[in-house]
Structure 1
Amino acid sequence: MTELFSIGQLARTTGLPVRTVRFWSDLGLVPPAGRTSGNYRMFDAEAAARLDLVRTLRELGIDLDTVERVLREQVTVADVARAHVRALDAEIRTLRLRRAVLSSVADRGSTTEEMKLMHELAKLSAQERQRIIDEFVDEAFAGVEPRPESAHIATGMRTMPAELPDEPTPEQVDAWIELAGLVADPSFKARVREMATAGARSAPRAEPMDPTSVVEHAGAALEAGIAPDSPEGQEILARIVPESTPRDKRLELADTLATFSDRRVERYWSLLGTINGWPQRPPAVPAFEWVIDALRAS
């Protein structure tokens, strides 16, 4: 004869509170094997095993509806475990993002509004972040002749990671927030478009300026505090641009460099680098600005 247990006995056997056993039984998760003449529920050994399974699943954070589906064999425990792992991974990423945002807020001394904005931006999905960047690039390059140079720049400007790292640094959260603000600025979008359309119109120069030379010589002049319009500055310019270059060509070169030199655009690339974990390069635009001033002063 099968041994039967009252709710109290089953509770003592499993270590669960009587009210919990009764509640799960009321939900149909642990049906009684029979009833006494006084209409009290009685349970068998299978009920004890089901209780153990229900308790384990609940302690793992599985909701009661899913527990019921497992018990009815509509899904397997393995299926539930895989789904729960995915859910936990998403929750862990969210918690890490919150931690990074709070660290950034603490370092910045941010206001409540700034913290709210940072949190809203940081928790965007990868698809939402990519959409913001794609819309910016699409508008900036709309109608621009698809020359290889322009296509390469546009593709590069879209490069976002699939998601922020599992443990984003405050710098990466800050970079994403600053980047989102930058692409939302109409003046920045207009500046990128100006560069894109100018690049599509202009023919390649026969003797392009060596950017390494600019960074080396003009960068050193900047560090030394040498004015671009000074005699010493003009001597340094001669190491970058031949002294024989006519005045009109110098002014034309200065205008071209000014069109394609922009600190905010360079900052865009730097922010993308921080988000993607790329090696950072020292800013080069200040050196080109020095050359522009030197060309116009010569």
Structure 2
Amino acid sequence: MERRYKIGELAQLSGVPVKTVRYYSDLGVLPPSGVSETGHRWYTDGDHARLEAIRSLRDVGVGLETIQKLMQQEDAISEALRLHMETLELEMAQLQRRRALLAAALKRNDHLGYLRGARTLAALNARERQQFVGQQIDRMLQDVPADPVWVRNLWKGPIMQVPEDLSEEQFEAWLELADLMLDDTFIARSQQMGQEFWSQFPDARSRERFMAVQQQTEQMMADAVKRQVLPDSEEGQKCIQQVLSMFAGTKERSVLQHLALQQLEMIARHTEPRALHFWQLVEKVHGQTGRSAQVMAVHEWKVKALQVCVSEFGSALHDLHPESNPGHGT
């Protein structure tokens, strides 16, 4: 015979106040299995299990009205729990975004001013973020005679594919990236560097040749960095001279030294710390790490190797900065 419990006994067994059990009973969420001749409610082991289920559902935030319906259709509980879990995940994502928005605002001097502007960016969905990025990239490349393949592979591809679901860290990086892309001075500087760099190539053929050589030489220098070849070593100088000869189409040392000097001057003119930060933010938004650090390592190796190559022109290099950051240039 199934055991019977008075309301106080059931409350003690479950570790909840008597008034809570009575409240659930009055609502019909936990109706008693019976009532004694004296009018006292009594409950069974099945009611105890039911009460434990109610407590579990309440712990995860399910409302009593929903619980009452679920108790009438026990086969619907799994679906209800799944939907509730999805709701909680959405709420958590919203809280994470709000936290990221506040964290970003705290880094600004004008907290409220930033919040007013960033709220719109924070509310964008994945498709709207992609449209926004595309519009800003078009601004950055306006009147820049860049190679179409370079634009498609480097800009229109990976940057625009902003993930739909962003972690708190990714979302904070997205806000900072969007803020940077709305900075007119950064846009203007990007246009200036792009126009100066790509104007070196008078036609599509020269651009295509440059891109092919660029890809080969970047791989050569990346391999040197990976093998820890010092830029001022004999092997390092052979590597940088081979790089220069591939661009110049000759191995004549005076020509290579002159080209090395030109490249250092170009790097100095294109020093833009925000360019590196831009790519670091792109990496964070996409949940990637390491690519910008690798690019920077190759860039620094190249600068040092070029300086050694033209060391006899030391006075001409007096004002150049070896720690300059890569922008649009080679």
* Contact map agreement 1:62 1:84 (CA 8 A) in 2: yes
Distance 1:68 1:154 in 2: 52
* Contact map agreement 1:25 1:32 (CA 8 A) in 2: yes
* Contact map agreement 1:7 1:21 (CA 8 A) in 2: yes
Distance 1:88 1:184 in 2: 33
* Contact map agreement 1:30 1:47 (CA 8 A) in 2: yes
State percent identity of aligned pairs.
23
Structure 1 portions without partners, runs of 5+: 217-222, 225-234, 248-252
Q: Which residue is 1:269 aligned to? A: 279
SS in 2 for 1:31: coil
Q: What is the root-mean-square deviation of aligned Cα atoms in Å?
A: 5.8
* Contact map agreement 2:129 2:162 (CA 8 A) in 1: no
| Cα distance change, pair 163–182 in 1 and its aligned pair in 2 (3 A) | same
The yes-or-no answer on 1:19 pairing with 2:19 is yes
Distance 2:166 2:277 in 1: 19
Structure 2 portions without partners, runs of 5+: 222-230, 233-240, 311-315, 317-330
For 2:48, the aligned partner's letter is: A
The yes-or-no answer on 1:71 pairing with 2:79 is no
The yes-or-no answer on 1:135 pairing with 2:132 is yes
Deviation at 1:21, TM superposition (A): 0.8
Q: Which residue is 2:184 aligned to? A: 186
- Which region of structure 1 is more displaced relative to structure 2, 82-91 or 180-189? 82-91
Distance 2:156 2:174 in 1: 18
* Contact map agreement 2:122 2:175 (CA 8 A) in 1: no
Deviation at 1:20, TM superposition (A): 0.1
Distance 1:208 1:7 in 2: 85
For 1:42, the aligned partner's letter is: R
- 1:15-94 counterparts in 2 under 5 A? 15-33=15-33, 35=35, 40=39, 42-45=41-44, 46-73=46-73, 76-90=76-90
Distance 2:63 2:4 in 1: 28
Deviation at 1:47, TM superposition (A): 3.5
Q: How many residues align?
A: 264
Deviation at 1:56, TM superposition (A): 2.7
SS in 2 for 1:43: strand
